[in-house]
A and B are shown apart, each in its own frame.
Chain A
Amino acid sequence: MPEGKPSQAAPLPGDFNRLYRFNGGLRLAEHRAVSLEHPIRFAGVPKQLVLPLQQHIGAPAECLVRTGDHVLAGDLLADPVGQVSAPVHAPASGTVVAIEARPVPHPSGLPATCIVVDTDGENATGPALAPVDYCNTDPVELCERIRQAGIVGLGGAGFPTRVKLNRRHDIELLVINGAECEPWISCDQSLMTERATDVIAGIRILQHILQPQQCVLAIEDNMPSAGQALRTALADAGDTGITLVEVPAVYPTGGERQLIRVLTGREVPSQGLPADIGIICQNVGTAAAVHHAVNAGRPLLSRIVTVTGDGIHSPGNFEVLIGTPISDVVAAAGGYTDNVERLLIGGPMMGYAVHSDAAPVIKTTNCILAVSAETMPSPPPAQPCIRCGKCTEACPADLLPQQLYWYARSGNYDAAQDFGLFDCIECGCCAYVCPSHIPLVQYYRHAKTAIWTQEKQKQAADIARGRHEARMERLERIKQERQARLAKRKRAVTGKGDGDDPRKAAIQAALERVRQKKAQAEYTPANIDNLTDEQRRKIEAVDRRRDAGNGRKAGED
């Protein structure tokens, strides 16, 4: 991507007065007021915490505790494995009662390994990490603290934050993403409204680590209370170098690539990262978590979750301990209403249905949405695609969704990739506008998974083929070496005249060894009793050849 390099890109605007736009996108009904009526409430300590070893993108953490262990709040339960991974901590004190597969919030609906902790209600806290004065601390050390604290991107993807902060060179712009754009979800908005100082403090740490030339805090223009709180906090904080920008509330502005486009007019290269164009993007919740980890020494034990929908008695935003079962969180919000029909994790556009509310809240759970059939009726049966192109107009990634659909459906994955399948951010705009109600994103997800599987199989096949070829090569080499030695020996023999004796002796010795080996071996083949004469002759011939071979080898050695 020669044009993607920061040096060749247009200069950053500085004051961000001029905003850009991306193609497509939708203006959706917000449905946020209902969850913003109450301030953030604490969901309480549940009887049991279920902590999946994988709550992030990357390798699952490695469990450090055993069943029966007593743990304190803040204790490390599982260690990260490799670079892209994150640890898991105990959010409350209690006893580890099981380490087993449990239902987890994941679109696949498959269970995954979890550490199950029965809480003891004492809420005893373990030895805390020491608070760090970030201004006088090396960024590397701060990164290590962020890793230790188990912080991952809280906007939804769950990418380990430390990994993102590693690329500290050439960062022009740090974008703090408060442009929460999906309907119903208001956890970031409530966080910014009620805990603006935490957010700002976290951003300052990130600024210290990354040393960006500029820093933008982006919120949507329909969050006046959050804007007010942040402005006040920024004014109190003095000269922070943070610019607060209100961007138009068009779904999916909160998508990293779309937000960067809106703020800077630059496009993150396809299959690339924002860092490729000198930009790092972090969620506001992540910033607050960084603040807690560094300034207070508190690992990521809880997060703010929007519990909302007309299937919930008392919707609102809740501070929820990681690992709290969804059923407990819903109970804290007054429980389900009678007409509740569907339970989703995430918003209506990108969220997915969960079939069991025993699944826990994990680090990436931003919203629990329970709705009635009236609010979100199940979609009517899909009709044929008439290529109307409404999806093309709505696509914020400038794809041709209907073409992708044809290719994904017909299993023509090469063409699908050629048409940018992996540039699809699965925002769901296309399926939302589709007059034929085709669940387009499901087709894309299926195609992506199929391609990943194919690639894995191909890799495995390549490895196997490589091994096979190496073996054939080795055998060929050995054969040639042997032939070379034989030829040499032959020359030596013909030169000497009578050279048979040492060879015969060697054969005898080898035969002797074989006999001994046979005597030692207690194993006799089970099927040698009813052999035909033909078979016996063959076996004997094979044995003779083998003995002769052994003898020759022994002679050479």
Chain B
Amino acid sequence: MLFNLLIAGVTAVVAEAIMLMLRKRAVTATLLDGSALLAGCLLALALPPLAPWWIPVIGSLFAIVIAKQLYGGLGYNPFNPAMAGYVVLLISFPLEMTLWPAAGNHPGLAATFTLVFSGSLPNGLPLDAVTMATPMDAVRMQLGLGELLTGLKEGPLFGLVGGAGWEWVNLWFLAGGLWMLKMRVIQWRIPVSMLAGLALVALVFHLYDPDTYASPLFHLFSGAAMLGAFFIATDPVSASTTPVGRLWYGFGIGVLTWVIRTWGGYPDGVAFAVLLMNLAAPTLDFYTRTRVFGQQDR
């Protein structure tokens, strides 16, 4: 994870600097806005920690060069750069994108370093020894094999409410998100409506058939739910800008996330949901304009 952050962050900043030079823009002043570093970090947070070094490099390059700078740089990109980079990686390198460490079995910093840069573990262990499917992936697979959720819940995959280990990560992201809300870095509409959308649709289906559909709490505290709600969907550039539009935007991400998680072919749906709602943002903006002071309702 640490290496991912480092590699993705550095790549993103370097790529941004080169692109700015090519586009003949002010390099230092623009780099200081921190948006490139942020995109790199968000991408790194979404990547599996044991992925080889070139994964964050390619992801960052795509995010900055294609998803951001080719569209005109900060403020002009229609898609969330980090998520665009992530999705490209997920589609192009599905194997490398599953290298999540097994819960409670982290190989250690030095071993991770070797693994990330050489592709093999130092003591000759096979990769499978330290990686495992994420709880959400496992749940999907087991359900596909005809098992029931009630049985799975007692297995080692589940923690208190969400996936083992993942619920703590999500709790930390939740704490960070609440802090950003308090500091007014982000506004409440998108995260709240996204989590509400995710929880609502999960609740409906969970009540309908608890054996097939995981509980809202599982969904809220697994995968990238909290990271997505507070750190990714709140990217204002690619989101809707009107107050009501933001509610719909977040809600749409929540619902789509659940749909992709439940019925889609990928382990988590946040990235796809965000990109899909990025597409919808201009339309949402158009149909959710504010009533101007003194004008009649539209």
Residue ranges of A at the interface with B (Cβ–Cβ < 8 Å): 1, 3, 22-23, 257, 261, 267-272, 381, 383-389, 392-393, 396-400, 402-403, 419-420, 423
Contacts and interface: CB of A to CB of B under 8 A. Distances in A.
A400 B237 CA distance: 15
Given A383-B33, A384-B74, A387-B237, A398 B243 contact: no
B94 interface: no
B242 A392 contact: yes
B292 A399 contact: yes
Contact of B290 (A1, A267, A392): A392
Contacts of A1: 296
Interface of B: 29, 33, 35, 73-76, 187, 236-237, 239, 241-243, 246, 285, 289-296
Contact of B293 (A384, A393, A396, A400): A396
B296 A397 contact: no
Given A381-B29, A384-B74, A400-B241, A389 B187 contact: yes
A268 to B, nearest CB: 5
29 contacts: A257-B294, A261-B293, A269-B294, A269-B295, A270-B292, A271-B294, A383-B33, A383-B74, A384-B74, A385-B75, A386-B236, A387-B241, A389-B242, A392-B241, A392-B243, A396-B293, A397-B292, A398-B290, A398-B291, A398-B292, A399-B290, A399-B292, A399-B293, A400-B242, A400-B290, A402-B241, A403-B289, A420-B295, A423-B294
Given A384-B74, A386-B75, A398-B291, A403 B241 contact: yes
A270 B75 contact: no
Nearest to A396: B293
A155 to B, nearest CB: 19
Given A387-B75, A399-B293, 11 more contacts: A257-B294, A268-B294, A269-B294, A270-B292, A384-B74, A398-B291, A398-B292, A400-B241, A419-B292, A420-B295, A423-B295
- Pairs A-B, 5 closest by C-beta atoms: A384-B75, A420-B292, A270-B294, A397-B293, A388-B236
Nearest to A258: B293
Contacts of A272: 294
A478 B239 CA distance: 65
B74 A386 contact: yes
A387 B295 CA distance: 24
A387 B73 CA distance: 13
Nearest to B292: A420
A4 to B, nearest CB: 9
B73 A22 contact: no
A23 B292 CA distance: 11
B289 A400 contact: yes
Contacts of A388: 236
A22, A261, A388, A399 pick with most chain B CB within 10 angstroms: A388
B34 to A, nearest CB: 11
A299 to B, nearest CB: 35
A22 B246 CA distance: 21
B232 to A, nearest CB: 15
Contacts of A22: 293
Which of A399, A400, A419 is most buried by chain B, counting CB atoms within 10 A of its CB? Answer: A400
Contacts of B73: 384
A3 B295 CA distance: 10
A257 B241 contact: no
A270 B237 CA distance: 30
A396 B290 CA distance: 12
A23 B75 CA distance: 26
A386 B239 CA distance: 10
Given A381-B29, A386-B74, A387-B236, A267 B246 contact: no
Contacts of B29: 381
A419 B285 CA distance: 12
B45 to A, nearest CB: 20
Nearest to B72: A384
B43 to A, nearest CB: 18
A384 B73 CA distance: 9
A257 to B, nearest CB: 7
Contacts of A397: 292-294
A125 to B, nearest CB: 45
B78 to A, nearest CB: 11
Given A381-B29, A387-B236, A387-B237, A398 B75 contact: no
A267 B74 contact: no
Contacts of B76: 384
A323 B49 CA distance: 73
A385 B291 CA distance: 22
B266 to A, nearest CB: 28
B237 A267 contact: no
Nearest to B30: A383
Contacts of B294: 257, 267-272, 397, 423
Contacts of B236: 386-389
A3 B293 CA distance: 14
Nearest to A268: B294
Contacts of A393: 243
Contacts of B239: 387
Contacts of B75: 384-387
Nearest to B234: A388
A449 to B, nearest CB: 20
Candidate in A270, A385, A386, A402 with the most chain B CB atoms within 10 angstroms: A386
A389 B293 contact: no
Nearest to B73: A384
A23 B239 CA distance: 22
B290 to A, nearest CB: 5
A400 to B, nearest CB: 6
A269 to B, nearest CB: 5
